[in-house]
């Protein structure tokens, strides 16, 4: 075993597996780019206060932060998610509204590692600030839904809930708190102690005892004020108009504190239930204020790259495509390949060569392994005559071509395929 390993809960992603990451990220960038979202790149660490504000009563912030003091005595933390950073950046720079951003962000949570749960995971996400319009909620959900379709996932479930707003939630929380206090002894030990502080967290508990109790708990969807109810109705109607099927999940509260109104989660039934969340998000209309900015509504989602790829494995879709070239230059003169390969690449052809003065036989072996369709062979005799042999690696087709015409000839041949 190597002396050093990637830290517990982290993974190296090597080719050809990494080709899926490239393609997934490109599909996402294209899809959200078409909807007017621009890339935001923000620091991987922030002032610890940024995250404390967004999740004081959550496991993500209480138990799982990678926080540290830097050499200048600042209390910093690696980001556990992307929303807080994007909203902090908006508050700092105030770009014009509506502000539509996307990101591809490594995120860090000190969790108990297992399949699909890592200490460094990667999210593709969007955040859209500046409007309460429920059609934006539908747009955002449709973007994630579309990406799952792009990779060929056919079994994704969309769970939908509304968490109300500052007007209707307090009365609901009182009703929920009263219900939970009545059933306190039946709850898990952790949540017995947390009813007062944030009763919604109990709804998010996956332990059987809490699940049993909360099955009959009051539901936020039954306590929505008029505005929130109308908003939620429009989100549901919009999803129906777009043909996106969903299930109402009255206990879906999500693992971060900033949500209000629309919340949603995408699940892949093919994965273990503890790690089957392949994306999730919702509205956070009070977050800009919590981070010191003017009141500005917002909504977004994060999609876990690792989880999406696990779901793809489970459904047998979106396989890795090994890196391949179109042309392999076999050179036994020891000098011709460098130039020929360079000119091919400059002309947009994927080309490679062997290094280290290998025998012709060894070079042909590498050519076969490279996935190339064509070999360009240059020997001393050919070099003297100013030609190369262009041959198919699949059949016995061979042609002698002038060295200066190799690029055009190869492009023509590849175009014929
Ligand atoms: P989240 O549900 O905590 O939401 O994470 C989003 C997604 O990241 C999850 O659905 C899952 O696919 C993936 N994920 C989370 N933790 C892990 C982990 N330890 N290992 C592997 N994958 C993981 C958020 O982070 C919000 N910022 C989403 C959002 C954006 N809400 C509004 N805007």
User: Ligand 1 center to residue 7 CA distance, Å?
Assistant: 21
Q: Give DSSP secondary structure letters for 140-180.
A: HHHHHHHHHHHTT----EEEEEE---TTTHHHHHHHHHHHH
> Which atom of ligand 1 has the smallest separation from the CA of 82?
27
Domains of the chain: 17-168+224-315 (3.30.930.10), 327-416 (3.40.50.800)
The pLDDT confidence band at residue 198, using thresholds 50, 70 and 90, is confident
Which mutation among 304, 311, 312 tests ligand 1's pocket best, with the greatest number of atoms within 8 A of CB?
304
**Do residues 117 and 275 lie in contact, with contact meaning Cβ atoms separated by under 8 Å?**
yes
Instruction: Kindly report the protein residue whose alpha carbon is nearest to atom 11 of ligand 1.
Output: 304
Q: For 81, left (φ over 0), alpha (ψ -120 to 50), or beta?
A: beta
Considering the chain, what is the average pLDDT of its residues? 95
Closest CA to 300 of 54, 96, 53, 46: 54
Which mutation among 302, 305, 306 tests ligand 1's pocket best, with the greatest number of atoms within 8 A of CB?
302
User: Ligand 1 center to residue 397 CA distance, Å?
Assistant: 53
Average pLDDT over residues 380-389: 93
pLDDT at 205: 87
pLDDT at 153: 98
Pairing of strands 351-353, 327-331: parallel
Taking only the tens place, the pLDDT of each residue in 17-29 is 999 999 999 999 9
Instruction: Kindly report the protein residue whose alpha carbon is nearest to atom 18 of ligand 1.
Output: 117
CA 344/CA 339 separation, integer angstroms: 9
Which mutation among 42, 51, 81 tests ligand 1's pocket best, with the greatest number of atoms within 8 A of CB?
81
Closest CA to 335 of 367, 375, 380, 365: 380
Taking only the tens place, the pLDDT of each residue in 269-325 is 999 988 999 999 999 999 999 999 999 999 999 999 999 999 999 999 999 998 789
Which helix or strand (DSSP H or E) is residue 45 part of?
A: strand 45-47
User: Ligand 1 center to residue 79 CA distance, Å?
Assistant: 12
DSSP state of 114: B
Taking only the tens place, the pLDDT of each residue in 399-415 is 999 999 999 999 999 99
Taking only the tens place, the pLDDT of each residue in 226-237 is 999 999 999 999
Taking only the tens place, the pLDDT of each residue in 352-376 is 999 999 999 999 999 999 999 999 9
**What pTM does this model have?**
0.95
The residue written with tokens 């039934």 in the block is 269
User: Ligand 1 center to residue 234 CA distance, Å?
Assistant: 25
User: Helices in 45-132 by DSSP H: which ranges?
Assistant: 48-55, 59-62, 83-93
User: Ligand 1 center to residue 400 CA distance, Å?
Assistant: 57
Is a pLDDT exceeding 70 seen at residue 45? yes
CA 172/CA 72 separation, integer angstroms: 45
CA 190/CA 198 separation, integer angstroms: 12
Instruction: Kindly report the protein residue whose alpha carbon is nearest to atom 14 of ligand 1.
Output: 304
Is a pLDDT exceeding 90 seen at residue 388? yes
Give me the percent of the chain exceeding a pLDDT of 70: 100
Average pLDDT over residues 386-408: 95
User: Ligand 1 center to residue 225 CA distance, Å?
Assistant: 29
Is a pLDDT exceeding 90 seen at residue 341? yes
User: Ligand 1 center to residue 304 CA distance, Å?
Assistant: 6
Sign of torsion, CA 192 188 191 175? negative
> Which atom of ligand 1 has the smallest separation from the CA of 300?
33
Strand order in the sheet with 120-129: 38-39, 99-108, 120-129, 298-304, 277-283, 260-267, 157-162, 247-248
pLDDT at 417: 66
Which mutation among 144, 277, 282 tests ligand 1's pocket best, with the greatest number of atoms within 8 A of CB?
277
pLDDT at 350: 97
Taking only the tens place, the pLDDT of each residue in 74-97 is 999 999 999 999 999 999 999 999
Pocket of ligand 1 (CB under 6 A): 81-83, 109, 111, 116-118, 121, 123, 125, 127, 255-256, 277-282, 300-302, 304, 306-307
Name residues whose C-beta falls within 8 Å of residue 168's C-beta, 6 or more positions apart in sequence. 223, 224, 225, 228
């Amino acid at each position: 075993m190597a002396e050093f390993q990637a830290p517990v809960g982290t993974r190296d992603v090597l080719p050809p597996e990494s080709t899926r990451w490239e393609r997934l990220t490109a599909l996402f960038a294209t899809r959200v780019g078409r909807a007017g979202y621009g890339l935001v790149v923000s620091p991987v660490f922030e002032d610890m206060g940024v995250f404390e504000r967004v999740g004081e009563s959550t496991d993500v912030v209480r138990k799982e932060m990678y926080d540290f003091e830097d050499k200048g005595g600042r209390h910093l933390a690696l980001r556990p998610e992307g929303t807080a950073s994007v909203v902090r950046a908006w508050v700092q720079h105030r770009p014009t509204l509506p502000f539509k951003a996307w990101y591809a962000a490594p995120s860090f949570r000190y969790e108990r590692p297992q399949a699909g749960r890592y200490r460094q995971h990667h999210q593709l996400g969007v955040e859209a600030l500046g409007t309460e319009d429920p059609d934006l909620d539908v747009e955002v959900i449709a973007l994630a839904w579309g990406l799952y379709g792009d990779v060929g996932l056919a079994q994704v479930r969309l769970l939908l809930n509304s968490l109300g707003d500052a007007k209707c939630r307090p009365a609901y929380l009182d009703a929920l708190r009263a219900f939970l206090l009545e059933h306190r002894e039946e709850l898990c030990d952790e949540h017995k102690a947390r009813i007062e502080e944030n009763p919604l967290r109990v709804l998010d508990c996956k332990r059987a005892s809490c699940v049993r109790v909360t099955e009959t708990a009051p539901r936020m969807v039954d306590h929505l004020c008029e505005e929130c109810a109308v908003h939620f109705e429009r989100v549901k109607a919009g999803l129906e108009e777009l043909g996106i099927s969903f299930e109402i999940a009255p206990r879906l509260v999500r693992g971060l504190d900033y949500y209000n109104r629309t919340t949603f989660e995408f699940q892949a039934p093919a994965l273990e239930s503890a790690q089957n969340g392949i994306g999730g998000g919702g509205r956070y209309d009070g977050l800009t204020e919590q981070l010191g900015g003017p009141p500005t509504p917002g909504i977004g989602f994060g999609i876990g790259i690792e989880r999406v790829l696990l779901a793809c494995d489970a459904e047998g879709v979106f396989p890795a495509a090994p890196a391949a070239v179109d042309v392999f230059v076999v050179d036994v003169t020891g000098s011709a390949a460098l130039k020929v390969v360079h000119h091919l690449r400059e002309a947009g052809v994927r080309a490679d060569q062997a290094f280290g003065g290998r025998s012709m036989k060894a070079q042909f072996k590498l050519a076969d392994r490279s996935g190339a369709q064509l070999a360009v062979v240059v020997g001393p005799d050919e070099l003297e005559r100013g030609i190369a042999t262009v041959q198919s690696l699949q059949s016995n087709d061979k042609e002698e071509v002038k060295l200066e015409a190799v690029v055009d000839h190869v492009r023509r041949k590849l175009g014929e395929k």
